[in-house]
Amino acid sequence: MPSPFPGMNPYLEHPELFPGFHHWLIIEIARFISPLLRPKYRVAVEVRMYEVNKTNSLTVGIPDISVINRKSNTQSTQTNTAVVTPVSQPQRVKIPVPLSIREGYLEVREVETDILVTTIEILSPSNKRGKGRQQYEEKREEILATRTNLVEIDLLRSGKAMPLAEDQISSDYRILVCRGDNRPYADLYAFNVQDTIPLFPLPLRLGDTEPVINLYTLLNDIYDVSGYDLVIDYNKPPVPQLVKNDGAWADILLREQGLR
């Protein structure tokens, strides 16, 4: 069953669904481009690990560790032992707990030289805020300081968009295609929740045939295989909620398809 939306499905942005969708999309992009790049290039699925502060992340579904207090015995007996004066009752507080985050990304490498040609990043909630954002931006700057191509896919409305030199563009989603031989310029595909997801090329070395990636087709394949239609309740608003105009548009769209 395909997604009911013509572009990015905003319900997939829910913090409980997006981590799985993120991993699926990484793998599906790799499966799509790998046969088109052989034998000159190979596609590697890499994993980046770092720790973020739980109070400064969007991670959900991880239960807090609770301490169960034993009930004290209220029966008193007469003894000659001195009784300790009860201490004042403490307040329950939360402390920042570091969480280990594992994020996948793709690397396209030249087989003969093993040179990194293109990095493909799909932004996660952790990439867009707090310590995770700082660490991602540092890696981003390292890539942009080289001739490595960068494809950066942002399918999250929440969080601040990644910086551009002169950024006056406002959109829900972004796909940035930054060629290493064309710095400081890049191609930005900006689109909103009511738009279709634009097609974009995978940058390679100059003169090579570049595959065109259709994220919407891949999204629908994932939506079907993962059975998201079985777990998403379209009677409820998405998380994060849509702005007023988009919410009204989504309501009409979902009612037309019998999902509300």
Q: Which tens digits make up the pLDDT trace of 72-129?
A: 344 444 545 555 666 678 888 877 666 666 778 999 999 999 999 999 999 999 899 8
- For residue 65, what pLDDT is reported? 31
Token look-up 């993962």 returns 226
Judged against a pLDDT cut of 70, whether residue 66 lies above it is answered with: no
- For residue 98, what pLDDT is reported? 64
Task: Please tell me the distance from the alpha carbon of residue 54 to that of residue 257, in angstroms, as a whole number.
Answer: 38
Q: How many helices (H) and strands (E) does the chain have?
A: 5, 8
- For residue 96, what pLDDT is reported? 67
Task: Please tell me the distance from the alpha carbon of residue 162 to that of residue 170, in angstroms, as a whole number.
Answer: 12
Judged against a pLDDT cut of 90, whether residue 213 lies above it is answered with: yes
- For residue 68, what pLDDT is reported? 32
Task: Please tell me the distance from the alpha carbon of residue 195 to that of residue 181, in angstroms, as a whole number.
Answer: 30
Judged against a pLDDT cut of 50, whether residue 23 lies above it is answered with: yes
- For residue 51, what pLDDT is reported? 66
The whole-number average pLDDT for the span 185-196 is 97
Query: Could you tell me the pLDDT band of residue 176, with boundaries at 50, 70 and 90?
Result: very high
Cα R_g (the chain), whole angstroms? 24
The whole-number average pLDDT for the span 119-147 is 92
- For residue 88, what pLDDT is reported? 77
Which runs of E-coded beta strand occur in the chain?
A: 41-53, 98-110, 116-122, 149-154, 173-178, 187-191, 200-201, 212-213
Instruction: For residue 260, give every residue at least 6 positions away whose Cβ sits within 8 Å of its Cβ, in sequence order, or none.
Output: 234, 235, 251, 254
Is residue 21 a contact partner of residue 12, using CB atoms and an 8 Å limit? yes
Judged against a pLDDT cut of 90, whether residue 191 lies above it is answered with: yes
Residue 212 burial (C-beta neighbours within 10 Å; 0-12, 13-18, 19+): exposed
Is residue 162 a contact partner of residue 176, using CB atoms and an 8 Å limit? yes
The token pair that represents 177 in the structure block: 């295609």
- For residue 53, what pLDDT is reported? 60
The whole-number average pLDDT for the span 39-67 is 61
- All structural domains of the chain: 10-57+97-231 (3.90.1570)
Query: Could you tell me the pLDDT band of residue 48, with boundaries at 50, 70 and 90?
Result: confident
**CA-to-CA separations, 240 to 9, 13, 156, 244, in angstroms, rounded:** 12, 7, 9, 12
- For residue 240, what pLDDT is reported? 95
